[in-house]
Amino acid sequence: MRAIAVGEQACSGVLLLLLLPFLIFITLVTAILSRRTPLIAHKRVGQSGRPIWVLKFRTMWGQSSPTSSSLTLIERLSSDCSVSTKAKPRNDPRVSSRFAALCRRYSIDELPQLWHVFRGEMSLVGPRPLTTAEIETYYRSAQYELLTMKPGISGLWQISGRSRLSYVQRRRLDLFLVRKWSLGLYVRILVATVPTVLAGKDAW
């Protein structure tokens, strides 16, 4: 596990450097289109229950007026999102920009999370970082198992249906990943992530 973590940090550092011009471009376009902070940080629960502010490019701004935080780079959102047993809706009215929808479809909005991998807070592969409400609602007694691993950018449910899966289905796949973790499973998920993201399937 330690060797994997070191390798991930080195890999994420290289990727951040290579992608820097692209990340700056996405940052500028998002700021111009949304007239808000281009990055948002959601408060999530990390390994061993430690809080982590997970970065994403902003893709939801709807038609409301810009907030007072529009001149800063990052807006922190600490409130828990509502939980539902249903899959993510395809046509969320908060995603009002074609550019934002494109970023979500191809997981471009998740690229800032490479920074968390570089810092050792996340892994390339692992259960997705969740809010306290999501964990308490769907994982309950299994939350202690879930939190033994670092949260990941990709995982089993990200290559097995993505946005069309319900929380219950995601829970089952996350716990399978934790309980059956192996180097082979890690590599298979990592390899499968690339074509899944490039295809933009089941993501919205």
For the chain, which residues score pLDDT lower than 70? Answer: 62-71, 79-87
Measure the CA–CA gap between 100 and 113, rounded to whole angstroms.
17
Measure the CA–CA gap between 8 and 153, rounded to whole angstroms.
12
Domain boundaries defined on the chain? 2-199
User: What is residue 82's predicted lDDT score, i.e. its pLDDT?
Assistant: 55
Predicted TM-score of the model (pTM): 0.91
User: What is residue 104's predicted lDDT score, i.e. its pLDDT?
Assistant: 95
SS3 state at 83:
coil
User: What is residue 201's predicted lDDT score, i.e. its pLDDT?
Assistant: 85
User: What is residue 189's predicted lDDT score, i.e. its pLDDT?
Assistant: 97
